[in-house]
Structure 1
Amino acid sequence: MNNYLVAVLSDRMQAEAAYSALESEGVPMEQVSLLGKGYKSADEYGFLDPKKSARKMAKLMSFWLVPFGFLGGYAFNVSTQFMLVPEIGALGNHLLGGVFGAIAGAMGSFFVGGGVGLSAGSGDALPYRNRLSQGKYIIVVEGAANLTNKATRIIKQFDPENIQGYVEPEQV
């Protein structure tokens, strides 16, 4: 189980000073990452891309919503006996109702699944990406609890804008 310390620093000088202080206090530098202009990007570090997460959620929802939409549209047309296009007969209209239901299911998966994936699927990665795009710098320390606690004490001296600790969930 890994612990993470993520600290947002306002400028490059502050970030480099904190990075140097971690190095001089004996924190293993292979467990420290500096993100920002001139250093690693969010993608290089591995912060989740919210757009990728949204596409994945929309695709997952479409596997359920499109078939259920088809069945719902078909059943609705059977129950109402509505003849949208009389020339294609009852079965054709039922199938057309199913197609419209499937289209509605696809739209639902795109708008709801994509919207939820965009807003919730990225967790805290989106605010960190936004801070990097504002020109801020982020220091990430990964390791055991004693290492991240030591790094927290060191980085707090530099008055970070935000400092947050995370514990990686155990894989089942």
Structure 2
Amino acid sequence: MNYLVAVLPDRTQAEAAYSALEKEGLPNDGINILGEGYQSADDYGLIDPNIEAKKEIKRELFWLVGFGFIAGFAFNWLTAIEIIPEGAPIVNHILGGIFGAGAGALGAYFSGGAVGLTIGSGDALPYRNRLNAGKYLVIVKGTGELTDRATRILRQFEPENIQGYSEPIGT
């Protein structure tokens, strides 16, 4: 399945583009308008970067907290740093492990969040920003031949941006 996304500055141009696509015989079920008064990004299924960031944080927490504990424990054991001078050595090692796990959790939060926001969302974030700025998206879904026809039609409306995407095989 192929997708074509055109960014248009206002509602009248988006509606005119939709009408032109209909007039050329493109199927209505493959054409969508996103923007105020039409579908929202969430309704259409555009990836929310915050959700992707949370998924990445959870994925990294699983590994980094455990490795952080082991690294903190090992570091304290090797250096024999006394966190609590009156405490037994094992207590200090465990506290070192807890501090290492905390460092792992912070690392997961910051790196996982940054990766999820920037990479995990793909082009969804710029499109969401354009929708928030009052612009409209015309999305055409269909075969390669259909999106090529739609590209020729949409170029007449001088969109701010027009981008084609191919869905990977097997999804």
TM-score range for the pair, normalised by the shorter chain length: over 0.9
2:138 match: 139
The superposition leaves residues 95-152 of structure 1 with CA deviations (integer Å, 9 ceiling, x where unpaired) of: 0000000000000000111111111110000000000000000000011001100111
Counterpart amino acid of 2:99? Answer: F
Residue 101 of structure 1: aligned partner: 100
1:56, 1:170 → 2: CA distance?
Answer: 24
Aligned to 2:163, the other structure's residue is in SS state strand
Q: TM-score, normalised by structure 1?
A: 0.98
Question: Could you tell me which residue of structure 1 aligns to residue 123 of structure 2?
Answer: 124
Instruction: Provide the C-alpha distance between the structure 2 equivalents of 1:34 and 1:115, rounded to a whole number of angstroms.
Output: 30
Residue type at the aligned position of 1:96: L
Which string of whole-angstrom CA distances, capped at 9 and with x for unpartnered residues, describes residues 36-68 of structure 1?
000000000011000000000011001110000
Letter of the aligned partner of 1:124 in structure 2? D
Q: How many residues align?
A: 171
Q: Report the AA paired with residue 3 of structure 1.
A: N
Residue in structure 2 matched with residue 86 of structure 1 by the alignment:
85
Aligned to 2:167: 168
Instruction: Report the Cα offset of residue 86 of structure 1.
Output: 2.1
Residue 62 of structure 1 corresponds to 61
Q: In structure 2, what residue type is equivalent to 1:136?
A: K
- Aligned to 1:86, the other structure's residue is in SS state coil
Q: Is the partner of 1:87 in helix, strand or coil? A: coil
SS state at 2:87 partner: helix
Q: 1:36 — aligned with what?
A: 35
Measured in 1, the distance between the counterparts of 2:170 and 2:84 equals 54
Counterpart in the other structure of 2:49: 50
Where does residue 8 of structure 2 map in the other structure?
A: 9
Secondary structure in 2 matching 1:88: coil
> Does the residue aligned with 2:125 lie in a helix, a strand or coil?
helix
2:86 alignment partner, SS class: helix
Distance 2:72 2:63 in 1: 14
RMSD: 0.8
Query: How many angstroms apart in 1 are the aligned matches of 2:106 and 2:5?
Result: 37
Structure 1 residue ranges without an equivalent (≥5): none
- The residue identity in structure 1 corresponding to 2:125 is L
Runs of 4+ in structure 1 off by over 2 angstroms are none
SS in 1 for 2:38: coil
